[in-house]
Amino acid sequence: MLELVGKLYETHDLTDEELISLINSDDSEVSELLRQRADETRQKYYGKKVFLRGLIEISSFCKNNCFYCGIRRDNKNAQRYRLSREEILSCCENGYELGFRTFVMQGGEDAFYDDRFMCDIISEIKNRYPDCAVTLSLGERSAQSYKRMKEAGADRYLLRHETADTELYKKLHPNNMSFANRKKCLFSLKKLGYQVGAGFMVGAPFQTVENLVSDLRFLQDLQPQMIGIGPFIPHHETPFADEKQGSLELTLRLLGIIRLMFPKVLLPATTALGTISPTGREMGLKTGCNVIMPNLSPVKVRKKYDLYDNKICTGEEAAECKGCLQRRVQSAGYEIVSERGDCVC
């Protein structure tokens, strides 16, 4: 098994069978070697740098009904909110002062944020902060809409593929959603020139090791600039309320594998990883991660963007979060930088 880590480190690929046995191995020596090699690889391309992405959760309204997600349409107890143009701009102002050079506008699929609204705010942010990157994470839209927003100045788009297995996709989503459409969206975003982020949940209900290998193969095909993965965490008001959460060990194992397969990719240590373990994000940073996405949303809405139970960082102001993260990143041996943090690929 240790040789497999060596082979992955050198060739950036393994056969399906090899990947399956590496993912399945619970040998702590293997985990440690994988962690070391992943860290060497991230340091080769990014040094000790950690890039920040300021996450602005613009809406908790969603027309979709994903079985895992707390803001799904059928959750009648979800608290819904929308941020106004002025509120979003004030999050950016606050974030810019704190050193953020990427703003991510994320939300449920909410028709209120039509192309006109989005193009206006994108160009306003780019006007005010020409040195910043604007990232969108608004789910599935038409190629036309993606094109307009790109022309308005958007730089990047995050859309996790969730799972590259058609059958598993159906078990995680209602019938009106499909992996085919997700894939179409991701490839059209790439073609339009967006820097793209894809990814999946680790330990989602019904997920097998073979499914995880399909995810890695899909990512090799798509070649996104960012790969966002985090453990699945149940939300008590969803059909998956009683399912098991994804494990820390498996998430770290996959982060290490992804860093070795995609040496230059941007890899966030996600909030979900920090939620299942108090030092989850620090462990992620030591296992190849080089991005953190702190919350810049107004504190009054934080708890309402409730994707999964016990989500961390919902009570503090952005400045406090930044201070807390600064300490955490330093304790792990890395340094937060105030840069756009584009992919070196």
Residues that bind ligand SAH (CB under 6 A): 68-69, 106, 108-109, 137, 139, 159-160, 162, 201, 230, 232-233, 235, 272, 307-308
Closest to 75 measured CA to CA, from 88, 89, 63:
63
Q: For residue 142, with 0-12 CB atoms within 10 Å meaning exposed, 13-18 middle and 19 or more buried, which class applies?
A: exposed
Closest to ligand SAH by CB, 63 vs 85, is: 63
For the bound state, the minimum distance from the C-beta of residue 272 to ligand SAH, rounded and expressed in Å, comes to 5
Plot region of 207 (φ>0 → left; ψ -120 to 50 → alpha; else → beta): beta
**Least CB distance from residue 333 to ligand SAH, whole Å?**
27
The residue (of 30 and 58) whose beta carbon lies closer to ligand SAH is 58
Let me know: does 198 contact 246? Beta carbons within 8 Å: no
Cβ–Cβ under 8 Å, residues 160 and 187: no
What is the Cα–Cα distance from 340 to 338, expressed in whole angstroms?
A: 7
Q: How far is the CB of 287 from ligand SAH (least distance, A)?
A: 18
Helix (H) or strand (E) holding 203, with range, is: none
Report the residue number, 38 or 186, with the smaller CB distance to ligand SAH. 186
Q: Which is nearer to ligand SAH, 199 or 263 (CB)?
A: 199
Q: Give whichever of 230 and 263 is closer to ligand SAH, judged by the CB atom.
A: 230
Output the smallest distance, CB 162 to ligand SAH, in A: 6
Provide, rounded to whole angstroms, the least separation between the CB of residue 137 and ligand SAH.
Answer: 5
The residues with which 240 forms a beta bridge, in sequence order, are: none
β strands within the chain, DSSP E: 49-52, 54-59, 102-107, 133-137, 156-158, 195-202, 226-231, 291-292, 335-337
CB of 307 to ligand SAH, least distance (A): 4
Q: Provide the minimum distance between the beta carbon of 331 and ligand SAH in the complex, in angstroms, as a whole number.
A: 25
Nearer to ligand SAH, 41 or 251 (CB): 251
Structure tokens at 82: 């929308």
Contact 294, 247 (CB under 8 A): no
CA 203 to each of CA 163, 197, 199: distance values in angstroms, whole numbers, following the listed order: 11, 20, 13
Residue 201 or 325 having the CB closest to ligand SAH: 201
The values of phi and psi at residue 47, to 5°, are 60, -140
In the complex with ligand SAH, which residue's Cβ is closer, 39 or 57?
A: 57
- Return the closest-CA partner of residue 59 out of 103, 102, 109: 109
Q: How far is the CB of 182 from ligand SAH (least distance, A)?
A: 9
> How many C-beta neighbours within 10 Å does residue 170 have?
15
